[in-house]
Amino acid sequence: MDETKILLSEKEIPQRWYNIQPDLPAPLAPPINPKTHKPIGPEDLAPIFPMELIKQEVSLEPWIEIPNEVMDMYRVWRPTPLRRARRLEKALGTPARIYYKDESVSPPGSHKPNTAVAQAYYNKVEGVKRLTTETGAGQWGSALSFATCLCGLECTIYMVRISYDQKPYRKLLMQSWNGKAIASPSDQTNSGRAILADYPDSPGSLGMAISEAVEDAATHDDAKYSLGSVLNHVLLHQTIVGLEVQEQLKLAGEKVDIICGCVGGGSNYAGLIFPFVKEKLAGRDLTLIATEPTACPTLTRGEFRYDFGDTAQLTPLLKMFTLGHRFVPPPIHAGGLRYHGAAPLICLLAAQKVIEPRAYHQNTVFDAALTFARSEGMLCAPETSHAIRAAIDEALKCKETGEEKCILIGYSGHGFFDLAAYEKYFGKELVDYEYPQEKIDEALQSVPVIEDAPE
Ligand SMILES: Cc1ncc(COP(=O)(O)O)c(C=O)c1O
């Protein structure tokens, strides 16, 4: 088949999410209570999450049915196209075949609504009236605003201060879907006020915004908290992406050799690769490249150990690669990749060497984004450009070796709200940050030492 867009019909949207937990190559270390160091139970999570999502978090069922109401919402933009990047192949002069799974076609412009609509639905069913969350660059805040709007819930979004000031259009998008964005750190919560007392001009971080959103939900009976990445149930919902790709590759008569995605908290990457990890663990030769910024090198330079998910230490301890929960990443433009940790499921696969992490500087990923835009026509989000950089590098290797590999890119979002970043790139104002080791070591000193952690 030599089509450029490989499309499924609505009837072919997968009806179930794939749960990787029973198929993992090693046991997943459980989240633990920071005081007792014992695994947390459902009762610890009940104040902030609905029960159905808590069940999904620990489920060992390999497949989980997608409720009809969620399928109805998915049909607004799913199935998403798998596109063959023929013009990019030509521009690079590579014998490789390059495909990209285009999650930018959702109303908010990224993969994030795949979990947002599921989370809003389960909360609605359990009588919740308002969801609280954090957002970095604004992609997740706008996705949750979209989902809560469809489900008739209210939404409060703690938006990292620097993005709040730099990205007015994402804020307006949230408002269009009735979401209320608040600059974080804010004076609305104890954790926000404590940070402001010490650092009145704090640019904020995802870790700080999570503290505020969790506190807001935990202190209001009608509100719950929603996280856009990192947790098992979020990654589960994203598997709709990889499951569609498997069908689309079958239609194209392809077998993929290399998959490239970007990792912030790990959700789009997980959604894309998890169905393929099963094949890799069964012995199939498959390279899974996980990209991240050199300025926030969680998987490439972090330590694999228990740490808090947020700055104010309100979350349970998660076993993950971490740069330390006090780490405040430099203000790079891929705001969605500025997180000190990553999903425990992704970290386990990195520790087991199932996936290959790679870090890139800002300028080289923007170079790749422009090569892509000038051949394929699509202008990607700065986060997505990391995945494109890796794919182009792999395609250029194929050019040298003559190998005709099949390369798949996770095209997690468009860059239409990130034009200020492109303006900086065109003006040669983008700074390449290499985070100094002493700063990483300093932030890691705040990470608790758990000697009696469960294996
Ligand atoms: C377009 C896009 N891609 C990737 C990410 C990274 O998040 P995750 O690693 O959870 O997919 C984000 C986060 O905001 C994003 O907006």
The count of other CB atoms within 10 Å of the CB of residue 251 is: 14
Output the six-digit token pair for 228. Answer: 């856009």
Helices (H), 126-231: 139-151, 161-166, 168-176, 190-198, 206-218
Dihedral sign of CA atoms 84, 89, 91, 92 in order: positive
List the one residue out of 251, 237, 290, 260 whose CA is nearest residue 392. Answer: 260
Q: How confident is the model at residue 105 (pLDDT cuts 50, 70, 90)?
A: very high
Distance CA 116, CA 228 (A): 7
Show the tokens assigned to 17: 């999410």
Predicted confidence (pLDDT) per residue in 64-99, tens digit: 999 999 999 999 999 999 999 999 999 999 999 999
Hey, whose CA ends up nearest to atom 1 of ligand 1?
413
- Beta carbons of 245 and 101 less than 8 angstroms apart: yes
* Predicted local distance difference test score (pLDDT) of residue 1: 58
- The Cα 145–Cα 172 span in angstroms is 11
Decide if 293 contacts 264 (C-beta within 8 A).
no
Q: Would the CB of 293 count as within 6 Å of ligand 1?
A: no
Whether residue 137 is predicted with pLDDT greater than 90 in this model: the reply is no
Question: How does DSSP assign 215-239, residue by residue?
Answer: HHHHT-TTEEE--SSSSHHHHHHHH
Q: 324 pLDDT exceeds 80?
A: yes
Residue 21 pLDDT grade (very low, low, confident, very high; cuts 50, 70, 90): very high
Ligand 1 pocket: which of 100, 103, 112 to mutate (most atoms within 8 A of CB): 112
Report pLDDT digits (tens) over 269-308.
Answer: 999 999 999 999 999 999 999 999 999 999 999 999 999 9
Residue 264 CA: nearest ligand 1 atom is 9
**Using CA atoms, how far apart are residues 139 and 402, in angstroms rounded to an integer?**
39
User: What SS3 class is residue 98?
Assistant: strand
Return d(Cα 298, Cα 347) in angstroms, integer. Answer: 10
Q: Are strands 303-308 and 317-322 parallel, antiparallel or unpaired?
A: antiparallel
Give dist(CA 309, CA 348) in Å, integer.
16
What is the largest distance, in Å, between two alpha-carbon atoms of the chain?
62
Give the residue, out of 383, 409, 414, 417, with the most ligand 1 atoms within 8 A of its beta carbon, to mutate for a pocket test. Answer: 383
pTM over 0.95: yes
In the reported structure, the alpha carbon of residue 402 is separated from the centroid of ligand 1 by a whole-number distance in angstroms of: 33
Beta strands (DSSP E) in 41-178 are 63-65, 82-84, 97-102, 130-135, 154-160
Q: If you ran DSSP here, which 8-state letter would residue 24 be given?
A: -
Average per-residue pLDDT in the chain?
A: 95
Torsion angles phi and psi, residue 84, rounded to 5:
-90, 125
